[in-house]
Each structure stands twice: as structure tokens, then as C-alpha cells.
Amino acid sequence: MVNVTFNKNYLFRLLGLRLDEKKLAMHIEKMGFEVETSTKEEVGIALPANRPDVVDIVGFARALKNFMHKSKKLKYVIKGNAPALEISVGGEIEGLRPFISGMVVKGMKFDEQSLKHLLAFTEKFASNYGRNRKRLAIGLHDLDQIAGNLTYDAVKDEEFLALGISRKMKLSEILKRNEKGMAYAGTIGDSKLYPVLKDANGTISFVPILNSERTKVTGSTKNLLIEITGTSRYIVEKSADLFAAMFLDLGASVEKVKVSYKGSSVILPKMSSANIEIPLIKIEGQIGVIIGFNNVISLANKMGYEAALVGRNIRFRIPEYRLDILNEQDVIEDIAIAYGYDFIQAVSIYSEQMGEIEDATRRSRELSEVMVGLGFSEMLNSYLTSERQDFDSMRLKDHDSKYVRVKDAKMQKLTMLRTSLLPSLLGNIGMSVHEKMPQRIFELDFVFGISGQVNENQMLAGVITDPKSNFNQIKAVVEAVLQSMRIEYQIKENSHRSFIEGRCASVILKGKNIGVFGEVHPEVLSNFGIEEPTIAFEISL
Amino acid sequence: MHRYEIAVLKCLEPGKPLSLEQLVEKSGTGRDGVLWAIEGLSKSGAITMARKESESVSLTEEGKLYASSQLPETALIQKLSKKSIEIRTLGDPQSRIGLQWAKTKELIAIEKGIIILTAKGKEAISKGIGEEYVLKKLGENPSLFTMMLKEKKQEVENLLKRKLIVTERRNEITSITINPKGKELLTAETKHEGEIDALDKKAIATRSWKGKKFKAYDINVPVESEIPAKLHPLRRAINSVKDTYTNMGFKEISGPVVIPAFWNFDTLFTPQDHPAREVQDTFYLSNPSQIEILDRKVMGKVKEEHEQAWKSDWLEQVAMQAVLRTQTTTVSIQELYNLSKYKEYKLPLKLFSVGRVFRNENIDYKHLPDFYQTDGIIVGENLTLANLFDTLTKIYKSLGLKVKFKPAYFPFVEPGAEMYAYHEERKEWLEVAGCGMLRREITGIAKKNITVLAWGASVERLLLITDKDIERLPDLYNNGVGWIRSRKTL
């Protein structure tokens, strides 16, 4: 989700008409977006992450206009192919941030709203779609301050008078001291060379961190240079199409630039648009409704596609500004949205398949029934825990690395996956000291360990806290559980630091230790704040 | 009334007081029983007890020693009757005590270090010492104390001074008399005489209850509370979700919690630089930090699809990072890429899972680091969005909810939708599930020409809507015994 806030007056100006609050909300919802807030001046909208074209208010107005059938603006063309400018890409940039695209925009008439929105959008585009400028970033410059052609390359540390900074700074210093420099230093990594864009008079951008003071864009700027840099050539060049469409919608004229790589060059923006042909039957077949040729074409127009009938297929022209269309499924979704999810009639699937639960589920249910029958209430606890609870509180000191550890948890006390259910259950009892005795609780769920690979084992554990509790009582419970499982078991003496020495036993199944039970050690009880004698068991299922 | 109280009252007649001993004997309830009963009865005014202050006596350890033999001064004068003794030969403590007392009582005299008997002493040898007599008598029968105090006052006082006897004051019950109130109580109680109180095995076997009345109990008496054991409300929700799925012909599947990012993200067509993969949202592990991707064939195809769609390199290192699964959709995908397992099933194949998933979140009223998710897929040919909406509408209808769908974007489905359920109390639509048709880039790896409907939903959120008892998600975990006890089960 990307959240945007649009100025209503500016939106209506772009749209060429005003809408009341209800109507605006209705259209936005029908387009598949969500109105989050609405005031007299502004409307807040949640947009899907794959639609950067509508994150821009200009693109949003275009989409809305198309959707309302107010006008059909389905095609964007840049007149003339002669480049207004050339950008040469140097040899040092290759491993760092190899690709650049751009355009020249002439005859812009900025006002407060349009400049504000343009700056906000480029920022948002670079942070969301550009992955915090790592994948892609955009620079806007006053074209009239640029001298001659441009060079894009990586250079050694140099001095640079950056936008909004009163003195020249070394590029390396910007990365260390400047707020923007520190925020985006990661895009450069530990490279000894710095990506810069230069004109005949020097550096106009420390890419993708800061532009120069000299080429700053203001409200009175008429002509612009747009440069887009990044790590993916396709994304860098396709994004230029999106920006070109936006400037064309704003009434400016857009001119191309020539980007020269070593041994090849390209004229940008390409304004490329692919065609996809989809059989009608496939569109109707995926959505599950009968729509018809004419309707599909009309719905396609609503979503900004030029569409035409070609034999039994419909040919869709993908708009220049759409970055998210990978294959026909994406087009079909747009048709479904335009058709309206609310109008899709539910159709049942015919199937002979019988329902089945897993054996593990069946067994868990039966065992839970036994436990409830024995008077135990069920607890559910987090799988995430800490060494302190899982080992230290249980008097287990030998935590070798045979357990699953997580890193960078927001909740700092969560550092690992639990290796036993007992600490969680003792925790439950510990926070219930004032509850009536006896207290009987159980949990049937997973614990985690590592022996070569990660083991995820289902365990059953039960705890009884009662002034009168003793070893025999828990033995009786364990035997009742094992007998109900029809297991041939043996009980052996055991020594376990969480239990009282001499009052602890293990359950043996075919020579393998599958569980432990006994009277919980008083130190463990104190660690969990438990005040009464407590007995417990845990067995592997 | 308690049966001890009834037994005591029955022994008593107005105007005929009984002693405590008599009452113990007559009632047959034992001394403690009688004492307990008369305490209560006298408080309620059913009887009156007469009491008397008295003094009783007992011998100290030293007293008992002399009572069983003789006083030390007696021993001394008996020796002296045979011969005189030099004072320096009396070394032991007992002889010293005897010397002290014999001297005080003027039974002996000391002349130039030699002890000799006085006339009084000679008389004492023949008559005996009064104190010794009293001591021995009290040792045999302490109740003689009152008499002794009267007749041998000097001796008794000496014995007390010498700490050979001690006395204790007592408030003794001398007699118990029944009052009219007691008689009334007894009459009320014995009205039910002959009625059956507690039914027992013998009464049932011998049918001795026949023709008798059962004593009526006071049904308003407060009783000790019973607390039913119960399943966790979330478990009950999980069970009902599973029942719903199986009723609709779905087969349950499950999968591991600790997996390589590959199965959590890459197979779900999530680009390797997608924000959802960042540490702020996903738990990465330090042990194990990597998990090998075993299915090399699937991996090769996933790499190909990613590089083509996202126009950047796909790295195995990134996909190998170990994570705690963030969605159960991974379980569906792992099963989808193992379709040969379902050779005996006909398409459409319907599968579901319920399991714990993890998000690196701070805990608040609607966020938890781990929670339950349920996921379903239907693998078929020519399935439609209309089929998906139908299936989900039916599932949620059987869970008691009205739903609607809105377009939504998830990297792995297209078309995609969010499902909302109507919350009756809050009168609003709440988001409960994400759904859609799996992308061709994903299904194509499993099998050509299949369509797969998929969805995922939080179980806790469902519970929040359907169970009025649950208000905050964190309540569902790490809770105390009191919380589970106070949950409603119906």
C-alpha cells in the first residue's frame, strides 16, 4: 500500500470538473482504490504498491478521467526524435549505478500546487518504487542553468556546492555529515568513487543524493532537465516514459535526450508500448462472467488501454506509463476491476473430493479431549521466547547452539524459538498466583531444536499447581495420558535440573526418552513467581 | 443443626443439669465433640453453662524426682542418724541442697566443721518430714490439692517456693442446663427424624428408603465453586475453521515454520528487493542463518521468472536466508510444487492449512509477533474469479459472516482481492482475507495450463469479529489461568 494525499482543487483542475465528496469516493472505490480520509481540501487514498503511475496526482487524474469516460487519453507521443541534449556514460560507473535516462521539458508553468506535487511525487517514487533510491532515483534541474552536454560517471572525491548547503563540501563529507548523505549512503556502499552528473561547468548532481545549488528548480523555472538513474536499465528507461506522460498532461512539451554508452546509444524516452492479444474466451474464462467484445473494449478504455478486435482476440495496447503489466493476467485484472468485483456473480466449483484432516490434527484433538477430561485447561503461548525464560529460569545452563535464534527482533526479549512448552506454562501459572487452587493447564504445540537441521516437534505438556501436589499425582496423569495413547512405555529414574532430584522420571518408548515428569524444583518456581508446589510433565508426540 | 449439637440437646432435660463428664458419657460423641457443640449452643442461647474457677497442681521434674525417692534433707538426716559427718566431705550438689534445707529447718547443727542432728532432727527421722508427705500425696493424686491447701498450708507454700510443684488456674465447666430455646431447636430438628438425609449405597441396595421421606435441603446455601477445564478460544476457532474446510471437501496440509526465504518470498514471486522482505517485517535467523534450497529444478525456474519480470539479477544467497514464515501461503506453494503427491486426486484439488506465522512487530492491541493464519488453494483447470468469490463466500457464511470483495495487489496473485467481513456490533466492514488467482509465473512452474485460486486469512482477526468476548489480540497469548477460566465456552 502507498498512501497519498491529494489537494482536491488541484485534482479537479487537472480533471476539468468538480465532484462532490460522495461521487469522488464512489469513483475511487470503483477504480479499486480506497479512500482513507476526506476533508474539504484534501483526499487521502491508499493505492496499490504496483501502480506508481497513479501515485502521481497527474496520473491519478488521467486514470479517473478515463474511468469516468470523460475523455479518452490513451496514447502519449513525443513529437520529433532529435535529441535536445546528450548524456555520455563514463566507464567508471558500471559496477556502481550503471544506467541513466532522462528528458528535457520546455514551457512548464509552475504554480504552488503543481511544483509541490511534482516534488512530493518524485520523492515518493524514488522511495517506494525506487526502493529508497537504491534501484532508482530522479533528479530535476533548471535546464537554463545547464551548459552543454552531460557526462554521467563515477569520480574521485571532489568538492561540490550542493542544493541548500551554504558551502562547498567534499562528496565523502556529504555522506558522513549531511542528513541526505547519511540517509542514502547505502546506495553507494563502500565504493571509493562517487557517481556524479556533470555539465560543461561542473557537477550538477551527486547521484542519487543531492543536486547542485546552481541548477535548482524554483516556481519560476520554465524549462527542466529530468534525469533518472538506477541499477536496472529497463526500470530506469521505462520510468522516463511515465514522467514524460505526466509532463505532457501538464501541457509542457517534452524533448528527447540521447544516452551514449560505450559502443551503443539510445534515444529516450522511448515511449514504448507493447501490445497483448488475449482471446475473449480467456478473459471471460478467468473472471467467470460473460462480458462480450464491445464491453471488453469499453472496459479496457476505462482503464486506459487502447483496445481493438483482432479476429477472435482483443488486442490491448499497454499505456506508456504502466510499469506493472507483466502478462495478460495483469490486463485481465484491470478488466475485472472495471467490470466491478461487486457484479461478479459467484459460481460454484464441482468437486467430488472428500474433506480430510491430517492425522496429527486428529491425534491432537483426541489428546486435548483427554487433557480437558483430566481437568486441564488449554493455553496457547508464543513460539518466540528468550534464553532467560527458556534456559536460565529452568536452571538449564548448558545452552549450546542447538536452538533456533532470531536476529533484530523489535521486541528485544524475543531472541529464539522455544525448546520446551514448560517455561511458557510455568509463566502462565506465575501470573495466576491469586487464582483458586488447584490450577491445571496444558499446551499441545510445537517446540524447536537443531540437530543438523531444524526439528519442529509437537509436544504435550501439563502443569499442576496445588498445595497438596506431589510426584505420584503427576505420575498418575502421565500414565493416564500414555494409556489413552495406547503406548507401551516404561518409566525410569531421571535427573533433570528443572525438577527436584529423586522426584523426577523419564518416559521411555522403545528405548528412546520421549518425556519427563516430576516435582518442579523450588528455585524454578521462584523464578516464575510461583508460590505453591508444582508438578509437571512434557512428552513428545 | 450439626449432629453433635442434636446429640447433646437430646441428653438434656429442663431443670436437670449434667456435668461435662456425664454429658460426654451420655451423648457418645466424645469430649471434643461435646465441647465444640456446647460452645455453639451456649452462644445461641440453647443451653446455659455453669463454670467454676479452680486451681490444679502438677509436679515439676525435680518434684517428681523427690516424690519417687525422698527429699535431699531426709537423705542427709538418715545418714547422720548413723554417724556424724564432716562438712567438707559433702561435695555433691544434692547433699549441698539437703544441707541447706536441713539447716533452715533446724534439723541439724554444725559444730567445728562437724554436722550433728538436733532434737528436731531426731524427731523428724521417726515422724518423717511434712513436705515430703505432701509432695508424695500430690504426686499420686493432684485433686487432693484443695484439701492440702487447707490442711497443710505451710508445706504447700514451701513446695511452691522450692519449685517442686506448680499450680494452674482453670475455669471449669461444672454443669450444663438446657434452656427453652434449646428445646425448641431440638423439636424443630427432630420433626425430620426418620427422614433420609444422605443417601447411601446400603439404603439403595436394601430399598430402606421406601416409604420414607427425604429430608429437604436448603437450596440457597452458597457452595464451593467448580471451574470447568476448557480448550483455548483460539483453538476452538481453529477447530471450527478446520471443520468448515473439511465439510467443504478440503484436505488439510501443513509445513515447516523455519524455511529459506525462497519458500516464503521467491516462490511467491516477491522480488528480492521488495520492502516486505526487510528486517522490519520479517524475522531472519542467526541460527541457522541459511537453509539450502533442495529443489534445484524449481529454483532454476524461479530464478528465470524473477530475472525476466523484475529485470534484475536473482541471487541464491538472498533466497537461502533462513526466516520464520510470514504467511501460510508458503505451505500451499510447497504443496503446489509437489503435485505428483496427489496423483490419485482429481482436479480440482482443494487444500487448506492452518498454522503459526511470524511478523517482526511490536505487540499492541492488534499486532502480535506470532499468530495463526489459514490458507487455502484450489488447483484446477479453467477456474475463475467467480469460483474464488463463491468458495470464500461459502466458507465465511458457514463461519457466520457476510463478506464482500475489493481489488487489491499482492505480488503473487492477479487478479487479486481483499475480502471484508461485516462486523455486526461495530457496524463496519473489516478486512479478513487476501485472495486471488496465482500468477502464471508461479503456476507455470508446477504444471502447464492450471489455474490456482489462493487465499490467506488471519484466524485471530476472525475470532475478533465472531467472539464478543475477545477485544484485544494480545489477550490470546501468554495469558494467565484466570483469563482462560473466565472465557465463555458457548
Check whether residue A279 and residue A261 sit in a common domain.
Answer: no
Indicate whether B36 belongs to any domain.
Answer: no
How high is the pLDDT of residue A465? 96
Per-residue pLDDT band at B261 (split at 50, 70, 90): very high
B249 contact A CB<8A: yes
Is B350–A351 a contact, with Cβ atoms under 8 angstroms apart? yes
Is A404–B287 a contact, with Cβ atoms under 8 angstroms apart? yes
Q: What percent of chain A has pLDDT over 90?
A: 88
E strand map for A394-438: 405-407, 416-417
Over residues A321-334, the pLDDT tens digits come to 999 999 999 999 99
Closest CA in chain B for residue A451: B288
E strand map for A281-438: 306-310, 313-317, 377-378, 384-385, 405-407, 416-417
Nearest to A356 among B251, B390, B437 (CB): B251
Interval A263-292 mean pLDDT: 95
Indicate whether A179 belongs to any domain.
Answer: yes
Best A47, A54, A286 residue to mutate vs chain B (most B CBs within 10 Å): A286
Indicate whether B189 belongs to any domain.
Answer: no
CA of B342 to nearest chain A CA: how many angstroms apart? 12
Indicate whether A167 belongs to any domain.
Answer: yes
Check whether residue A213 and residue A237 sit in a common domain.
Answer: yes
Over residues B50-88, the pLDDT tens digits come to 888 877 788 888 888 888 888 888 888 888 888 778 887
Interval B181-199 mean pLDDT: 81
CB atoms within 10 A of CB B231: 22
B128 contact A CB<8A: no
How high is the pLDDT of residue B20? 86
How high is the pLDDT of residue B490? 64
CA of B220 to nearest chain A CA: how many angstroms apart? 23
Indicate whether A351 belongs to any domain.
Answer: no
Check whether residue B399 and residue B290 sit in a common domain.
Answer: no
Indicate whether B45 belongs to any domain.
Answer: no
Domain boundary among B269, B295, B324: B324
**Pick the residue with more confidence: B467 or A104?**
A104
Is A446–B437 a contact, with Cβ atoms under 8 angstroms apart? no
Per-residue pLDDT band at A206 (split at 50, 70, 90): very high
Is B440–A327 a contact, with Cβ atoms under 8 angstroms apart? yes
| Chain B residues within an 8 Å CB radius of A424 | 478
How high is the pLDDT of residue B387? 97
Domain ranges, residue B292: 258-324
Three-state secondary structure call for residue A215: coil
Indicate whether B329 belongs to any domain.
Answer: no
Interval A417-442 mean pLDDT: 94
CA of A234 to nearest chain B CA: how many angstroms apart? 7
Q: How distant, in Å, are the alpha carbons of A6, A202, A239, A432, B485 from that of A474?
A: 66, 82, 69, 20, 22
Check whether residue A423 and residue A536 sit in a common domain.
Answer: yes
Total domains, chain A: 4
How high is the pLDDT of residue B390? 96
Closest CA in chain B for residue A356: B251
Over residues A477-533, the pLDDT tens digits come to 999 999 998 889 999 999 999 999 999 999 999 999 999 999 999 999 999 999 999
Check whether residue B421 and residue B474 sit in a common domain.
Answer: yes
How high is the pLDDT of residue A410? 80
Check whether residue B353 and residue B450 sit in a common domain.
Answer: yes
How high is the pLDDT of residue B126? 83
Check whether residue A320 and residue A381 sit in a common domain.
Answer: no
Three-state secondary structure call for residue B36: helix
Q: What percent of chain B has pLDDT over 90?
A: 40
Check whether residue A282 and residue A200 sit in a common domain.
Answer: no
Domain boundary among B324, B358, B381: B324
Interval B403-416 mean pLDDT: 93
How high is the pLDDT of residue A458? 96
How high is the pLDDT of residue A398? 64
How high is the pLDDT of residue B117? 84
Size of interface A-B (CB pairs under 8 A): 252
Nearest to A440 among B229, B346, B405 (CB): B229
Check whether residue B76 and residue B117 sit in a common domain.
Answer: yes
Best A35, A47, A290, A326 residue to mutate vs chain B (most B CBs within 10 Å): A326
Indicate whether A348 belongs to any domain.
Answer: no
For chain B, percent helix, then strand, then coil, each to nearest 5? 45, 25, 30
Q: Which residues have a Cβ under 8 Å from the Cβ of B112 and sit 6 or more positions away?
A: none
How high is the pLDDT of residue A227? 97
pLDDT at B236 over 80: yes
Per-residue pLDDT band at A475 (split at 50, 70, 90): very high
Interval A167-195 mean pLDDT: 92
Check whether residue B241 and residue B266 sit in a common domain.
Answer: no
**Pick the residue with more confidence: B399 or A383?**
A383
Indicate whether B209 belongs to any domain.
Answer: no
| Chain A residues within an 8 Å CB radius of B348 | 349, 351, 353
| Chain B residues within an 8 Å CB radius of A413 | none
How high is the pLDDT of residue B217? 84
Distance CA A379, CA B482 (A): 11
Check whether residue B450 and residue B344 sit in a common domain.
Answer: yes
How high is the pLDDT of residue B372? 94
**Pick the residue with more confidence: A38 or B194?**
A38
Q: Under a CB-based contact definition with an 8 Å cutoff, are residues A308 and A37 in contact? A: no
Check whether residue B264 and residue B359 sit in a common domain.
Answer: no
**Pick the residue with more confidence: A250 or B146?**
A250
Which helix (DSSP H) or strand (DSSP E) does residue A179 occupy?
helix A179-183
Check whether residue A216 and residue A295 sit in a common domain.
Answer: no
How high is the pLDDT of residue B338? 93
Interval B236-259 mean pLDDT: 96
- Identify which of A318, A56, A247, A117 has the alpha carbon closest to the alpha carbon of residue A255: A247
Q: How distant, in Å, are the alpha carbons of B80, B84, B85, B94, B165 from that of B99?
A: 11, 13, 11, 9, 21
pLDDT at A392 over 90: yes
Indicate whether A352 belongs to any domain.
Answer: no
Task: Write the CATH number for B77.
Answer: 1.10.10
Domain boundary among A249, A268, A287: A268
B91 contact A CB<8A: no
Interval B287-314 mean pLDDT: 93
Indicate whether A391 belongs to any domain.
Answer: yes
How high is the pLDDT of residue B480? 85
Over residues A310-365, the pLDDT tens digits come to 999 999 999 999 999 999 999 999 999 999 999 999 999 999 999 999 999 999 99
Check whether residue A367 and residue A339 sit in a common domain.
Answer: no
How high is the pLDDT of residue B239? 95
Over residues B124-178, the pLDDT tens digits come to 888 888 888 888 888 888 888 888 888 888 888 888 888 899 888 878 888 899 9
ipTM for the assembly:
0.91
Indicate whether B280 belongs to any domain.
Answer: yes
How high is the pLDDT of residue B44? 86
Query: How does the average pLDDT of chain B come out, rounded?
Result: 88
Per-residue pLDDT band at A41 (split at 50, 70, 90): very high
Check whether residue B271 and residue B367 sit in a common domain.
Answer: no
HSE at residue A442, side-chain half, CA atoms within 13 A, is 28
CA of B185 to nearest chain A CA: how many angstroms apart? 37
E strand map for A20-130: 34-38, 42-47, 85-89, 99-106
How high is the pLDDT of residue A487? 87
Domain ranges, residue A130: 85-268
Check whether residue B246 and residue B395 sit in a common domain.
Answer: yes
How high is the pLDDT of residue B322? 97
Indicate whether B201 belongs to any domain.
Answer: no
Is B407–A134 a contact, with Cβ atoms under 8 angstroms apart? no
Question: Which B residues in the span 443-482 are in contact with A, Cβ-Cβ below 8 Å?
Answer: 451, 476-482
How high is the pLDDT of residue B148? 84
Question: Which CB contacts under 8 angstroms, 24+ apart, belong to B125-134?
Answer: B125/B77, B125/B78, B125/B81, B128/B74, B129/B71, B129/B73, B129/B74, B129/B105, B130/B154, B130/B155, B131/B71, B131/B155, B131/B158, B131/B159, B132/B66, B132/B70, B132/B71, B132/B74, B134/B159
Check whether residue B313 and residue B460 sit in a common domain.
Answer: no
Task: Write the CATH number for A52.
Answer: 3.30.56.10
Task: Write the CATH number for A435.
Answer: 3.30.930.10
Over residues B11-44, the pLDDT tens digits come to 888 888 888 888 888 888 888 888 888 888 888 8
Domain boundary among B155, B170, B185: B170
Total domains, chain B: 3
Interval A434-443 mean pLDDT: 94
CA of A493 to nearest chain B CA: how many angstroms apart? 31
Over residues A136-175, the pLDDT tens digits come to 999 999 999 999 999 999 999 999 999 988 899 999 999 9
Check whether residue A245 and residue A316 sit in a common domain.
Answer: no
Check whether residue A330 and residue A369 sit in a common domain.
Answer: no
pLDDT at A196 over 70: yes
Q: Which residues have a Cβ under 8 Å from the Cβ of A2 and sit 6 or more positions away?
A: A46, A47, A48, A49, A51, A55, A124, A128
pLDDT at B4 over 90: no
Domain boundary among A218, A251, A268: A268
Query: How does the average pLDDT of chain A come out, rounded?
Result: 94
- Identify which of B326, B419, B269 has the alpha carbon closest to the alpha carbon of residue A324: B269
| Chain A residues within an 8 Å CB radius of B441 | 326-327
Check whether residue A405 and residue A527 sit in a common domain.
Answer: yes
pLDDT at A244 over 70: yes
DSSP state of B18: B
Per-residue pLDDT band at B366 (split at 50, 70, 90): low
Distance CA B487, CA A378 (A): 12
Closest CA in chain A for residue B350: A353
Interval B1-9 mean pLDDT: 84
Check whether residue B269 and residue B407 sit in a common domain.
Answer: no
Task: Write the CATH number for B367.
Answer: 3.30.930.10
How high is the pLDDT of residue A76? 95
Domain boundary among A268, A302, A319: A268
Check whether residue A339 and residue A370 sit in a common domain.
Answer: no
Query: Counting Cβ atoms within 10 Å, is residue A306 exposed (0-12), middle (13-18) or buried (19+)?
Result: middle
Indicate whether B155 belongs to any domain.
Answer: yes
Check whether residue A256 and residue A286 sit in a common domain.
Answer: no
Q: Under a CB-based contact definition with an 8 Å cutoff, are residues B478 and A427 in contact? A: yes
Check whether residue B243 and residue B353 sit in a common domain.
Answer: yes
pLDDT at B365 over 70: no
pLDDT at A63 over 80: yes
CA of B238 to nearest chain A CA: how many angstroms apart? 11
B378 contact A CB<8A: yes
Distance CA B396, CA B459 (A): 12
| Chain B residues within an 8 Å CB radius of A410 | 280, 360-362, 369
